[in-house]
């Protein structure tokens, strides 16, 4: 009986305390939590203190839910909502868990593959430029001959299918296959027969040959391109513009082995990586009528990930070692461990893992799929 009376007295005391302190507002509850945290009180002590001051479970859960909503709206963080169903024995201190996601790099792509599929990089030849002296004339090109000085004359002639222009009082002049410099010399000789001053030591009559409208050429684009076929291009068009016109390289096409055939012979083998990595555009030659551009399938692709500056898939030539792959990837980042790298290789029946030491970078041979 004595124990029962003691418990009853204690219950009455707590009820009075709840009534006495049950008028705390939400803001007062938050302020009280912050004050107790500042004194170093534990979460259990804070819970006990709040309960003693009349903070009910419902009020605590409501304040916590409001706190969550305000925090998420202000900072965009992702919060843990499991606490809404916690028992009173667990702390009611707001707990915000920030979920930090590593920025996604997207799917690993093949370095350079999209070069000829970009709408902003067409390699369209510039038609508003002087015709280069090494430009080879052909059927359909317009030749402009200007004479000034003691005599003035302008002649505009289009090269005929048989390779001639026909000038009044002079006759036909064969220009097919000549470059502009050679054609200029031949035209000057032909006009010198009626304008003798052109050939004097101190001439007072002058002549200049230029090209007006240029012809179109037909080029066959074959192999591993998106849209193989025969294309009509400007006679100023280059290999890169032809690849762009054909939609670029397809999924198995090579960027390191693009071949240009002319009159049945290999004219040029183009490595696009020379242009991408070294700025060397010497392989981007001007095409000629009936040239064939052929893209071969790739032979070796290797993926590099981790602490390098440009983690991607790179097409490798047969004799290129690990060091060249690292160079293609822009080198190591500042926080990379450079003394060795781990290489995974698919064998016939199993996966093999190698640790390649720095001293081996210059000689370690890579395989397709590494």
CATH number for position 180:
3.30.1950.10
Q: Are residues 273 and 329 in the same domain?
A: no
- 34 is a domain residue: yes
Alpha-carbon Rg of the chain, whole angstroms?
40
Q: For residue 358, what is the DSSP state?
A: G
Q: Is residue 135 part of a domain?
A: no
Mark which of 250, 265, 297 sits at the end of a domain.
Answer: 297
CA dihedral 233, 236, 241, 247 (to 10 degrees): 0
Tens digit of each residue's pLDDT (9 = 90 or more) over 74-119:
444 444 444 444 444 444 443 333 333 334 444 578 998 888 887 7
pLDDT digits (tens, 9 = 90+) for 295-348: 999 999 999 999 999 999 999 999 999 999 999 999 999 999 999 999 999 888
Residue 302 in tokens = 């290797």
Largest CA distance in the chain: 144
User: Do 13 and 77 sit in the same domain of this protein?
Assistant: yes
Tell whether 370 is covered by a domain. no
Is residue 50, in this structure, part of any structural domain at all?
A: yes
User: Residues in the chain with pLDDT < 70?
Assistant: 1-24, 40-45, 55, 57-59, 61, 64-107
Asked whether residue 233 is assigned to any structural domain, the reply reads: yes
Instruction: Tell me how many domains the chain contains.
Output: 4
Domain for residue 232, yes or no?
yes
Which residues, including other chains, have CB under 8 Å from residue 81's CB and lie 6 or more apart? 68
Tokens 């602490």 — which residue? 307
- Tokens representing 157 are 């002639």
Q: Which of 211, 238, 259 is the last residue of a domain?
A: 211
CA angle 354, 369, 245 (to 5 degrees): 150
- Contacts of residue 150, defined as CB under 8 A and 6 or more positions apart, other chains included, come to 197, 204, 205
235 and 292 in a single domain? The answer is: yes
Residues 152 and 14 occupy one common structural domain? no
The domain in which residue 60 lies consists of: 2-85
Q: Give this prediction's pTM.
A: 0.64
Buried b (16+ CB within 10 A) or exposed e, 217-240: bebebebbbeebeebebbbbbbbb
Q: What are residue 259's DSSP bridge partners?
A: 269, 294
């Amino acid at each position: 009986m004595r124990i029962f009376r003691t418990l009853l007295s204690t219950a009455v005391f707590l009820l009075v305390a709840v009534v006495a302190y049950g008028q705390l507002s939400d803001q007062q509850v938050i302020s009280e939590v912050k004050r107790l945290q500042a004194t170093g009180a534990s979460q259990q002590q804070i819970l006990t203190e709040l309960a003693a001051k009349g903070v009910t479970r419902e009020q605590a859960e409501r304040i916590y839910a409001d706190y969550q909503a305000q925090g998420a709206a202000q900072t965009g963080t992702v919060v843990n909502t499991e606490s809404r169903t916690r028992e009173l024995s667990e702390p009611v201190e707001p707990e915000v868990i920030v979920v930090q996601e590593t920025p996604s790099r997207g799917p690993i792509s093949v370095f350079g593959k999209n070069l000829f599929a970009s709408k902003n990089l067409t390699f369209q030849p510039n038609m508003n430029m002087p015709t280069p002296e090494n430009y080879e004339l052909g059927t359909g090109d317009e030749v402009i001959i200007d004479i000034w000085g003691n005599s003035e004359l302008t002649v505009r002639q289009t090269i005929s299918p048989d390779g001639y222009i026909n000038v009044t009082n002079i006759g036909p002049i064969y220009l097919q296959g000549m470059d502009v410099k050679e054609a200029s010399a031949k035209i000057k000789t032909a006009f010198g027969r009626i304008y003798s001053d052109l050939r004097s030591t101190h001439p007072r009559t002058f002549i200049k040959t230029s090209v007006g409208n240029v012809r179109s050429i037909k080029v066959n684009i074959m192999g591993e391109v998106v849209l193989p076929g025969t294309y009509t291009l400007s006679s100023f068009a280059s290999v890169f513009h032809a690849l762009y016109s054909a939609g670029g390289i397809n999924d198995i096409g090579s960027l390191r082995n693009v071949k240009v055939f002319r009159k049945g012979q290999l004219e040029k083998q183009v490595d696009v990586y020379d242009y991408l990595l070294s700025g060397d555009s010497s392989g981007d030659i001007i095409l000629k009528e009936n040239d064939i551009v052929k893209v071969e399938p790739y032979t070796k692709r290797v993926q590099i990930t981790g602490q390098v500056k440009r983690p991607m898939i790179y097409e490798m030539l047969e004799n290129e070692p690990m060091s060249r792959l690292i160079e293609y990837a822009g080198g190591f980042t500042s926080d990379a461990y450079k003394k060795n790298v781990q290489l995974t290789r698919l064998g016939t029946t199993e996966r093999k893992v190698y640790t390649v030491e720095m001293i081996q970078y210059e000689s370690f041979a890579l395989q397709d799929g590494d």
